[in-house]
Structure 1
Amino acid sequence: MSQIVGILLAAGSSRRFGADKRLHPLPDGTPMALASARNLAAVCARTIVVIRPDDTVLASLLVAEGLETVVCDAAEQGMGHSLSSGVAESAGAAGWLVALADMPYIQPASYHAVLHAMQDWAALARPIHDGSPGHPVAFGAAHLDKLLALTGDQGGKAILEADPVAVVLCSVDDPGVLKDIDVPMQIETPGSPAGALSA
């Protein structure tokens, strides 16, 4: 039986962060992208991390973890290219659970909720918290051709918006599904209240 493959999009440019946020350590010392990759790999038997051609440091960290990497030569042209690269590397999958490298605070239960929706034959699925849809986002195999055709910076958003009725929304008690880190002050600090951000 084909499996659902995890794809972590980690080929971004970190322009707003001021440095390479993917390598920025969280309070426990783990680089942000590595923490996100571990979270995704904990629920997907096969996880692919999409990186840029010059990512030698990040690639070495991921390989040391036993994670699979795919280099997207067109990463600078947008997230759509990165996602299509990851899907192309796993075209025989039953579906894809797509996560972002700058969202390390997603709880395991949220990943499992979306994964279980796909295992129950949902065509599209994503978590929802406090009325807002978040990540990770899952796509069934029926969307293979559309995913492979992605370009630019839109990612899978257009696929989700084209068929909103088909999207299974998995209610989760997890603000982490909405938290992407764009600037250093958004990194949580030890001892802060749950869901709080550093000032």
Structure 2
Amino acid sequence: MTTEPMNTQAGEAGEVAGLLLAAGGGRRLGGRPKALLEHRGRPLVEHAVRVLREAGCARVHVVLGASAEAVRARASLPGCVLVDNPDWADGMGSSLRVGLASLRGTDAGAALVSLVDQPGIGAAATARVRAAYRSPSTLAAAAYEGLRGHPVLFGSDHWAGIEASAVGDRGARAYLKEHADAITLVECGDVAEPYDIDTVEDLGRLTPGTSASGAPGGPAHME
């Protein structure tokens, strides 16, 4: 396992596409879809997409599941490719498979995978991981005090293997464990907090208030 310095520049071997997993139904939140939780006056999915944009991802695919039609109706996601995962209740692995499959046939040499329920991880950390990209064989991940977390970057050479092993809520965990020596860890603990919004108590970590445009309830700009 190698460690990537923070000033590394991204390679040119294909674009790095953003892949946002936003299908969760929020079972421990009383069935409130995580994509629609309010953060800074707008749905959390908008914030997560904006982070990927600010980190340099021109292409962003968003995997939807629970209340997908409501997310489409309420969230402003211009320019995103919205992908439905009918099997979202099976766990994050199914969303990862659907998302990677949606990137096949594009110019993407890698997928930068982030989770909708981690608002403490912003553009600074996400851009650091994106900058670790060198070629379709790259594997990279954010690290927090040396421990691997999100976002994670999967070069396209790895997609088939990840799709084959991603089951339940494990996502790519088994594949990453098997290829641990190939992962570039990018320390992000100084610029991000990798907490999840999983329980009712966690809702206190979300920020109330106005949207990024400054208007309560108005569409957020893709900054």
TM-score between the two structures when normalised by the length of structure 2: 0.76
Displacement over 6 Å in runs of 4+: none
Q: Report how many aligned residue pairs link the two structures.
A: 189
Matched, 1:3 2:43: no
Q: Provide closer, same or farther for how the CA distance between residues 121 and 66 of structure 1 changes in structure 2, counting only shifts above 3 A.
A: closer
Distance in 2, matches of 1:159 and 1:116, equals 22
Q: Deviations over 1:85-108 (max 9, x none)?
A: 111111242011000010122121
Residue in 1 aligned with 2:178? 162
1:52-92 superposed Cα distances (whole Å, 9 cap, x missing partner): 17411212345553321000111111211111111111124
- Is 1:48 paired with 2:61? yes
What code does the residue aligned with 2:90 have? Q
- Provide the identity percentage: 33
Q: Contact conserved, 1:128 with 1:171, CA < 8 A, in 2?
A: yes
In the TM superposition, residue 147 of structure 1 has moved relative to its aligned partner by 2.7
Q: Which runs of 5+ in 2 are unaligned?
A: 1-12, 208-223
Deviation at 1:51, TM superposition (A): 0.5
Distance 2:100 2:144 in 1: 27
Aligned-residue Cα RMSD (Å) equals 2.2
- Residue aligning to 1:188: 205
| Structure 1 unaligned spans of 5+ | 191-199
Whether the 8 Å CA contact 2:64–2:83 is kept in 1: the answer is yes
Which residue of the partner structure matches residue 127 of structure 2?
112
Residues 114 and 189 of structure 1, relative CA distance in 2, 3 Å threshold: closer
C-alpha contact (below 8 Å) 1:7/1:97 kept by paired residues: yes
The higher-RCO structure (CA 8 Å, 6+ apart) is: 2
| Partner amino acid, structure 2, of 1:44 | C
Contact 1:49 1:70 in 2 (8 A): yes
Cα pair 2:33 2:67 within 8 Å, conserved: no
> Does structure 2 retain, via aligned residues, the 8 Å contact 1:10–1:22?
yes
Alpha-carbon distance in 2 for matches of 1:189, 1:63: 19
**CA distance 1:60–1:68, shift in 2 (3 Å):** farther
Alignment partner of 1:179 out of 184, 195, 207:
195
Q: CA deviation at 1:174?
A: 2.6
